[in-house]
Amino acid sequence: MTDSLLRWYPEPYRSERGPEILGVLMDAGGPTPRERWALMLGGLRMRAGAHGNPWRPALRTAALMLLVLKILNEVDTLVAFRTGPDAAMIARIVLSLIGIVALTHNGFLAAAAAAVAMIAVDGGDLHLTRLYSPWLVLLLVVPLIGRGPVSVPRSLHYLVGWALLPAGITIAGSALTDNGWPNAAERTWWVLFAVAALWAVVDERLVLTVGLVLLYEVVFRIPFAVELARQGEFARGWVLWIGLGLVVPVLGVTTGGVLTRRRVRT
């Protein structure tokens, strides 16, 4: 019985607290469906290490994902145009690598400096509407400066690996848009978002991170929608494209934010 009811908890916790929890369950009249659900959630949250404020790990992981995507984007450019790398491209790749190393070692000031240097390499152009632009990295890293190291759970480490998937699809050339419908790369983000949204029942950090990474979509698609409306070209396909683009970052950050607010309270 211990195995079936408490299987979601890590083994050391099961050994230490299992008999006590089962004793309480028996006193309460046995495991009801509600009790089973609460035990499953409690165990999964414990395994995920879902405690404390999730904003800092989410900010760090989102910045890390953007830098990984930035390097992949540079590689994509190299593959697509079959040209040798220019000095600016090499500088962006090196600065992204410096940013990644800095972030993984909690060097947030150095990571911010790398992002500023990347903006400088682009002649001060923020490229506001691009996923791979350093302005968002800077925005995400600045709140982490001077506040000590950030502990990142394993579930968020997987996210960085996931970043390779849509970028890989883009590089493979299968990400052509067709009338505003989500392309293959966008669909992988949707799958990730769906997984993250479901996982938010247990741990809100995943959905928060995905929302933060895609914040650029808000900067990108809203002015685009306004311009289309101004020109009277706001067709249904565009509405879908703009709506889908906004749903992920807005829902991600608000869902994560609301759950955070609920859970960090004692």
Q: Which residues of 43-69 are buried (b: 16+ CB within 10 A; e: fewer)?
A: bbbebbbbeeebbbbbbbbbbbbbbbb
Task: Compute the C-alpha angle 253/156/90, nearest 5°.
Answer: 95
Closest to 150 in 3D by CA, of 31, 254, 56: 56
Q: Rounded CA gap, 3 and 14, in Å?
A: 9
Closest to other proteins by CB, 46 vs 150, is: 46
Closest to other proteins by CB, 34 vs 230, is: 34
Give contact residues for other proteins (rule: CB under 8 A): 17, 19-28, 34-35, 37-43, 45-46, 51, 262, 264-266
SS3 per-residue string spanning 197-259: HHHCCCCCHHHHHHHHHCCHHHHHHHHHHHHHHHCCCCCHHHHHHHHHHHHHHHHHHHHHHHH
The 3-state DSSP class for residue 91 equals helix
Closest to other proteins by CB, 45 vs 130, is: 45
The nearest distance, CB 189 to other proteins, in angstroms, is 31
Closest to other proteins by CB, 17 vs 105, is: 17
Which residues lie below 8 Å from residue 116, measured CB to CB, with a gap of 6+?
Answer: 134, 138
The nearest distance, CB 6 to other proteins, in angstroms, is 9
The nearest distance, CB 49 to other proteins, in angstroms, is 12
The nearest distance, CB 71 to other proteins, in angstroms, is 38
Closest to other proteins by CB, 187 vs 263, is: 263
Closest to other proteins by CB, 6 vs 213, is: 6
Closest to 57 in 3D by CA, of 204, 165, 163, 200: 204
Token pair in block for residue 50? 């879902």
The nearest distance, CB 227 to other proteins, in angstroms, is 40
The 3-state DSSP class for residue 149 equals coil
The nearest distance, CB 19 to other proteins, in angstroms, is 4
